[in-house]
Structure 1
Amino acid sequence: MDALYLDKANPDVYAGFRAAADAIAAAARDAGLPRLLTELVSVRVSQVNGCAYCLNVHTKKLMDAGETVQRLGALTAWRETELFDETERAALEIAEAITTLPAPEERIAVEYRVREVLSDAEFAAVSWVAISMNAMNRLSITSRHPVRPPRA
């Protein structure tokens, strides 16, 4: 059976979904979050979820935002390195908690730690970026969006 691209099957729903994602990106900019940070969160969430399509899209965006190959390579083990600053570490920690949904007491402990570093606006924006990316991952995984080789 062929894949059913949900975005094509319900274009009006997808348009609303994209509008929400655009509003989230604007909130992140308004909170002062650099594009590199929001793309870092998008890539990490997509790694956790195993979304090849979103990894392909957001890895390119992350590299275009100035990320290094070294940090990209170490992203899955970010806790084990000192390559990421305090703000990035806080954003990655809350993004992972939103993605994996650990037990309530652990999620609350993560929130307390992260809110020591991020302002309320930054915390909200990073949370929305992670929530949106999780939804996009599920859309792409469910739709079986393909990752195609680059055109020559």
Structure 2
Amino acid sequence: MSNRMKNPAEVIPQAYKGIGNLLAAVADGGLPETTTELIAMRVSSLNGCAACLQGHAVRVEEVGLPIEKIVGLAAYRESPFFSEAEKAALALADAVTRLADSEDAVPDELWREVTKHYDERQTAALILCIATHNLFNRVNVTVREDAENPFWMR
């Protein structure tokens, strides 16, 4: 499958800078890198973004994600390999990625679970991480970004 056009972040370089600033803010939010990678992979999987999944497959070894978490990501709720904090973060990623699937997209019970494990700065980083990866996915799926040679790896 070929790209429909250049990635919009290539066409409008200011967009790439803005996305970079969002990622830097997430990195500064106090979350473990393993958590942000799990979120990125979960969101990308839900959105069917092969280019992003491929990009994150390269990072999992760098951040030290064990194979049990990578393989078990689709069934994180039932998996014994995820901490309660990771499960809360992933549930938030599911809810925010699928906003239209529920009348109350982020119910209070989920919010309480997230904020039980993460302070305000970390929760802000979680929200920005989820939103930024949804942005990446929506752009990349729309233009059919090449998973074998995405523009950010060229």
After TM superposition, the score normalised by the length of structure 2 is 0.84
Measured against aligned partners, the alpha-carbon deviations of 1:33-80 in whole angstroms (never above 9, x if no partner) come to 122211111001001111111111012112321111221000010001
Matched, 1:77 2:75: yes
| Higher relative contact order (Cα pairs below 8 Å, separated by 6+ residues) | 2
Tell me, which stretches of 5 or more residues in structure 1 are unaligned?
none
Matched, 1:107 2:96: no
The Cα of 1:106 is off from its aligned counterpart by 4.7
Q: What one-letter code is carried by the residue in structure 1 that aligns with 2:117?
A: V
- Could you tell me which residue of structure 1 aligns to residue 125 of structure 2? 125
- Could you tell me which residue of structure 2 aligns to residue 138 of structure 1? 138
Count, aligned residues: 147
- Could you tell me which residue of structure 1 aligns to residue 66 of structure 2? 68
Q: Which portions of structure 1, spanning 4 or more consecutive aligned residues, are displaced by more than 3 angstroms?
A: none
Tell me, which stretches of 5 or more residues in structure 2 are unaligned?
150-154
User: 1 CA distance for matches of 2:117 and 2:18?
Assistant: 26
Q: What one-letter code is carried by the residue in structure 2 that aligns with 1:40?
A: L
Identity %: 29
RMSD: 2.2
Measured against aligned partners, the alpha-carbon deviations of 1:107-150 in whole angstroms (never above 9, x if no partner) come to 1332232122211111111111111111111111111112228x
Q: Secondary structure in 1 aligned to 2:107?
A: helix
- Could you tell me which residue of structure 2 aligns to residue 21 of structure 1? 19
CA shift in 2, pair 1:66/1:4, >3 Å: same
After TM superposition, the score normalised by the length of structure 1 is 0.85
